[in-house]
Chains A and B, each alone.
Chain A
Amino acid sequence: MTAANPPAGVPDPDFHERLTALAEKRMAAGEVYGEAAADPVNLPMIRHWAAAMGDANPLHTDAEAAAAGVHGEIVAPPAMIQVWTMPGLAGPAGRPESAGSPIDDVLAALDAAGYTGVVATNCEQTYDRYLRLGERPVPATRLTGLSGPKRTALGEGYFVTWNVTWYSEGERVAEMLFRVLKFHPGERKTTPDTRQPYPLGPAVNDDTAFFWEGVARGELRIQRCADCGELRHPPGPVCPSCRSAGRTYVVASGEGEVYSYVVHHNPPIPGWETPFAVAVVQLPEGVRIVGAVVDCAPAEVGIGMPLRVTYRQKDDNLILPLWVPRET
């Protein structure tokens, strides 16, 4: 792909056309064989998998029981089919069944265009027969679908669908339909941790916006009078010492110590789990600020305790400057 890396959020007018053309070419190429399983189907791997999955069926692990069963010998659990041909961490690009496959460059093109997020949306497997010990299945992959761009809760993206068919001893043993959503992560409106809007957001106006903009950049800003230099927190529109409306700020060191504190137990507070500690923090710059103390048991908080500021995302729009214990 040329010019394949537009800045996030800047649409490339030709991208969709080029992606579609690429996908059509790969779909037309049909099934492409991959590498056969690195190891033959074997009992130790079956035992590991069965234990991990809680599969206690003796037909997969107990030679005697298997001999008396319908297969007459040990067979692998059919749901293990992906396991045998998965390339593992050292494998090509870490993409199962896709090494050198027709989906590789389609996914790469999406990555390059900023659709770097990935989430698996469908996995449907069909089994033709059981695999026996010693067999070495071979995967064959074909791209079967591309649709998009679509607006999703995660952001704009493309759905890419492919099929993998496993063959062994000249016959088909299993088939899988796999679909992923490749999306622009920058457009995510929510994350799993902060799906709910934080109920206790601050009011912000011309006099306080600089503080919250600082917090969003990881800076604890203290208002400083542009004329007399006095520091002031909480900030306000006019310097109480010299009447100047000229304002600037300094970035605090981010250190402080507990001047006073409370531990809230009752009643419940929206957005907080009780008990939690909140402190009046004395900053070395000479002003005080209020903030919750986190990453520490409330019972450990005490007056004089050294603290360091930390920034915590409360929802998509709000970061709060909170405080954690500081080693001295």
Chain B
Amino acid sequence: MVSFSGSTAVAGIGATEFSKQSGRSELRLAAEAVFAALDDAGLGPSDVDGLVTYTQDANDEIAVAREVGIGDLTFFSRVHYGGGAACGTVMHAAMAVATGVAETVVCYRAFNERSGRRYGRPDPGLGGAPSSLGLEMSWHVPHGLMTPAAWVAMFARRYMHVHGATSEDFGRVAVAMRRHAATNPAAWFHDRPITLAEHQASRWIVEPLHLLDCCQESDGAVALVVTSAERARDLRRTPALITAAAQGSGAGQMMMTSYYRDDMTGLPEMGVVGRRLWEQAGFGPEDVQTAVLYDHFTPFVLVQLEELGFCGRGEARHLVADGGIEIDGRLPVNPHGGQLGEAYIHGMNGIAEAVRQVRGTAANQVADVRNVLVTAGTGVPTSGLVLSAG
């Protein structure tokens, strides 16, 4: 059986600045990030024969190829389910490289999510069409339950009830992320840490979520170059080997409202991803030195720690309370500041951070990193990666 595990790598990363108003088109952002990633890898547009992005990206692969000057494409693919696509793009690219469908694949995500269409805003069209998604949304949107914060808050309330977690437990995640971002010059919230009191005083978005439980909204783009490990070793940068990559969806899965299948305190789809990752990697959570966990809303950071095996069910709040996810803790989470602190680029900036941690070039570098876990969107069908030093 063909495997991409250990035989493929991320050879280059690139990004635009992260802002609230890029002042440029989304296609231009995509092109800039792809150029930056190719430059980082020491490759040119003519080396690229595959492109992968999210179904939610507004820039078609062919449009990006035209702007960047990429010629023939033998592989192009899209990954569905919002931010759950992030690590999935790398998995698709790795599969294409491992099977010989393509040699060099660029994954990208570009949007003006703050100055253009804001995902945190209600979209009355969500429940209007008789597609499977429209019908799914139609059990929720008519009741005014129609923003990502609201969908996640429903899980968070149940988690608090069952496990005794509090708003302060969620707040400690936000405080840790902002602490990390404060020393990351690329972060929007560089030099702007917060206190737990500020978290508690921030306004309600959807109870039990305060404003500071919700990640920021950003304009920007990130691109990644995926190729074979063998080729990557000949390029400019130290390769970040793709040790494991997985997508996951659980039984009774919905886009963001899986309220009908279990006790609502876990993330079964992330459990699927975790089991696959550890199986491919041949090791477990104890062999990961830092984790980049998707943090669009703080409660799911706790649930991910449990679902991925870093602690027992309901115990994540103790791990977080002890400073366990901070840069000097037992498992430093999101050393770049995450989406709460650096930028919300739909999880793609987290993969770039994992590559820097493996290379040893991160702003907040964790010592002796051999393996990094990365996850994608939570509460949605999702994906994950384990990247390793070569």
Contact = CB atoms under 8 A, between A and B. Distances in A.
B249 to A, nearest CB: 15
B139 A264 contact: no
Contacts of A298: 207
A123 interface: no
A320 interface: yes
A39 interface: no
Given A259-B158, A260-B155, A234 B142 contact: no
A117 interface: no
Contact of B145 (A203, A278, A314, A322): A278
A266 B204 contact: yes
Interface in B180-208: 203-208
Kindly state the interface size class of chain B when it binds its partner.
35 or more
A32 interface: no
A207 B206 CA distance: 31
Contacts of A202: 127, 135, 138-139, 141-142
Contacts of A261: 154, 157
Interface stretch (A4-12, A90-98, A283-291): A283-291
Interface in A259-303: 259-272, 275-276, 278, 280, 287-292, 298, 303
B205 A265 contact: yes
Interface string B149-166: 010011101100100000
Contacts of A199: 124
A125 interface: no
Nearest to B152: A262
A269 B122 contact: yes
A203 B206 contact: no
A298 B204 CA distance: 13
Interface string A172-210: 000000000000000000000000001111111101100
Given A259-B158, A264-B144, A233 B127 contact: no
A322 B157 CA distance: 20
Given A203-B135, A261-B154, A280-B259, A267 B122 contact: yes
Nearest to B211: A266
B210 to A, nearest CB: 10
Contacts, number: 125
Contacts of A318: 142
A265 B129 contact: no
B117 interface: no
A320 B142 contact: yes
Given A280-B264, A303-B158, A200 B153 contact: no
Contacts of B136: 234
B145 A266 contact: no
Interface residues of A, number: 42
A256 to B, nearest CB: 13
Interface in B112-155: 120-122, 124, 127-131, 134-147, 150, 153-155
A260 B263 CA distance: 10
A203 B138 contact: yes
A278 B121 contact: no
A205 B135 contact: yes
B153 A262 contact: yes
Nearest to A202: B138
A179 B150 CA distance: 52
Contacts of B135: 202-203, 205, 207-208, 234
Nearest to A314: B142
Interface in A218-259: 233-234, 259
A318 B122 CA distance: 20
Given A264-B206, A266-B205, A320-B143, A203 B158 contact: no
Interface in B206-263: 206-208, 211, 257, 259-260
A269 B142 contact: no
Contacts of A265: 203-207
Given A203-B127, A261-B154, A280-B264, A290 B206 contact: no
Contacts of A280: 154, 158, 259, 264
A259 B128 CA distance: 27
A233 B129 CA distance: 19
Given A202-B127, A203-B138, A233-B260, A270 B122 contact: yes
Given A203-B130, A266-B204, A260 B144 contact: no
A303 B143 contact: no
A314 B142 CA distance: 10
B139 A290 contact: yes
Nearest to B204: A265
Interface centre among A266, A288, A303, A322 (most CB of B within 10 A): A266
Contacts of B158: 259-260, 280, 303
Interface in A35-63: none
Interface in B300-355: none
A292 B153 CA distance: 14
Nearest to A198: B142
The 7 closest A-B pairs by CB, nearest first: A202-B138, A263-B207, A260-B158, A265-B204, A262-B153, A203-B134, A272-B144
17 contacts: A202-B135, A203-B138, A234-B136, A234-B260, A260-B154, A260-B155, A260-B259, A266-B203, A266-B206, A270-B122, A275-B204, A275-B207, A278-B144, A287-B260, A290-B143, A292-B143, A318-B142
Interface of B: 120-122, 124, 127-131, 134-147, 150, 153-155, 157-158, 161, 203-208, 211, 257, 259-260, 264
Given A205-B130, A275-B204, 18 more contacts: A200-B127, A202-B127, A203-B138, A205-B135, A207-B135, A208-B138, A260-B157, A261-B157, A263-B204, A263-B207, A264-B207, A265-B207, A266-B211, A267-B121, A267-B147, A269-B144, A280-B259, A292-B143
